[in-house]
Amino acid sequence: RPPRSTPLYSSAASDVYKRQMAIRESERLELNQDALFRRVEASEYEPEMRSVHGSADAYKIKGKIIDMSAGGMKLAITQKLEDPLKNGEILLFHVSGASLRENMAATVLATIPSGKQLNVHLQFRDSNALTRIKLLQFLHRYKKQQAAA
């Protein structure tokens, strides 16, 4: 029996698990998955907001997740935004199929206009080890499905 001071979730076990999956944390996979996003000013953001789903009206930004890694993603927005996205703002969203109980939060790193769409580069925030593993599992399953297709 391990001593009580041993954390329930060990990083060594996490490392072994990650090596068993055929995907690296930095590997980006094409998803092309539609999603709705809620915009939050960085100064107003609190990690507890991830567990509050809020009304559907709060998720006003429609986008397509172009690609994703365990650390971030690229998003394409085709709708005209009344107020342009700014670097440092937070987007809250749900990753369909990733078995996450909470929404994800991501910080806007860059916005790049490209024709009629806006490409947005985001970095995930406040993701603990369990969230990162669930994202890796999701990306691993997705990669296997694409390989089988």
The predicted structure's pLDDT at residue 56: 65
pLDDT given for residue 24 in this prediction: 55
- Contact criterion met (CB below 8 Å) for 73 and 35: no
Q: What is the pLDDT of residue 5?
A: 52
Closest CA to 62 of 81, 35, 97: 35
d(C-alpha 135, C-alpha 137), whole Å: 5
**Residues 106, 125: contact at Cβ < 8 Å?**
yes
Q: Which residues have C-beta within 8 Å of that of residue 40, sequence separation ≥ 6?
A: 49, 89, 90, 91, 92, 105
Model pLDDT, residue 89: 96
What are the tens digits of pLDDT across the range 59-105? 889 999 999 988 899 999 999 998 999 999 999 998 888 888 888 99
Q: State how far Cα 145 lies from the chain centre.
A: 19
Q: Please write the tens of the pLDDT for every residue from 10-60.
A: 555 555 544 544 455 567 888 889 999 999 999 999 888 888 666 667 888
